[in-house]
């Protein structure tokens, strides 16, 4: 796999990049060390609510998060496994956009109707995500205990 600097340069040069994700900020949609993402360069890209983009925090790390809101003062981001909104980010901090992801060998395009529905519902659920995650974890724990 490419290094993070290579990913930025490849995207800047107009190449599509596939890489394995790390970190849990986009869980449950993306699972680290299992799922990979296909990132597209930004030529002609216009940020929209619900899109997932790769951006660089000022003097810091590359982050893959979902766009919460686009405003005149910048773009506001949130990870799928987070409730706190980050922003405003400048357009020049965005390095690439998610075109698809690969889970267990299955390619899922961001144009897929089920993916788009997931993105909208997940954004809508942002204030209650933590409670939902706790409930799901409790059910899974209960099921494992019964087996």
Summarize pLDDT for 84-134 with one digit per residue, the tens. 999 999 999 999 999 999 999 999 999 999 999 999 998 998 888 878 878
Exposed, middle or buried by CB within 10 Å (0-12, 13-18, 19+), for 104?
exposed
Q: Is the pTM of this model over 0.75?
A: yes
Rounded CA-CA distance 60/36 in Å is 22
Q: Please tell me the distance from the alpha carbon of residue 109 to that of residue 71, in angstroms, as a whole number.
A: 26
Query: What percent of the chain stands above pLDDT 70?
Result: 97
Please report which helix (H) or strand (E) contains residue 129, including its range.
Answer: helix 129-146
Q: Please tell me the predicted confidence (pLDDT) of residue 1.
A: 44
Please, how many CA atoms are within 13 Å of residue 40, restricted to the half-sphere of its CB? 15
């Amino acid at each position: 796999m490419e290094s993070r600097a290579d990913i930025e340069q490849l995207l800047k040069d107009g190449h599509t990049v596939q890489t394995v994700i790390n970190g849990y900020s986009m869980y449950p949609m993306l699972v680290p060390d299992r799922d990979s993402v296909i990132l597209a360069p930004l030529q002609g890209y216009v940020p929209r609510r619900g899109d997932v983009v790769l951006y660089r925090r000022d003097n810091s790390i590359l982050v893959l998060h979902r766009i919460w809101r686009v405003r005149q003062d910048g773009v506001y981001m949130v990870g799928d496994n987070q409730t706190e909104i980050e922003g405003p980010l400048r357009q020049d901090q965005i390095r690439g956009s998610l075109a698809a992801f690969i889970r267990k060998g299955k390619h899922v395009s961001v144009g897929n109707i089920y993916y788009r529905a997931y993105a909208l519902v997940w954004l809508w659920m942002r204030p209650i995500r933590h409670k939902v995650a706790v409930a799901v974890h409790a059910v899974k724990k209960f099921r494992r205990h019964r087996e």
